[in-house]
Amino acid sequence: MKRKKKAVPGVAAPKDGKVEQAAGAALSMPDYTMRWGAVSSLLLTGAENAITGREIKRIMGIKDGREVSFMVERERRGGVPICASCDGKNPGYYLPGSPRELEKYTVSLQRRITAITATLEALETALEEWTGQQRL
pLDDT, tens digit (0-9, with 9 covering 90-100), for 28-69 = 555 554 456 889 999 999 999 999 999 999 999 999 989 999
Q: Is the per-residue pLDDT at 10 higher than 80?
A: no
Look at the chain and report how many structural domains it folds into: 1
- 53 burial level (CB within 10 Å; 0-12, 13-18, 19+): buried
Residue 112 lies in a domain: no
What is the Cα–Cα distance from 55 to 75, expressed in whole angstroms?
18
89: confidence class by pLDDT, cuts 50, 70, 90 = confident
- The answer to whether residue 22 is domain-embedded is yes
Asked, for residue 28, whether it belongs to a domain, the answer is yes
In a domain, 116, yes or no: no
Write the pLDDT tens digit of every residue in 120-129: 999 999 999 9
Question: What are the DSSP calls for 8-59, one per residue?
Answer: PTTTT--TT-EEE-TTS-EEEPP--GGG--TTTTTPPBSGGG-B-HHHHHHH
Least reliable range by pLDDT among 5-9, 47-51, 84-88: 5-9
Residue 78 per-residue DSSP state: T
Residue 45, in any domain of the structure: yes
Please tell me the pTM assigned to this model: 0.70
Domain CATH for 67? 1.10.10
Q: Which domain holds residue 23?
A: 18-97
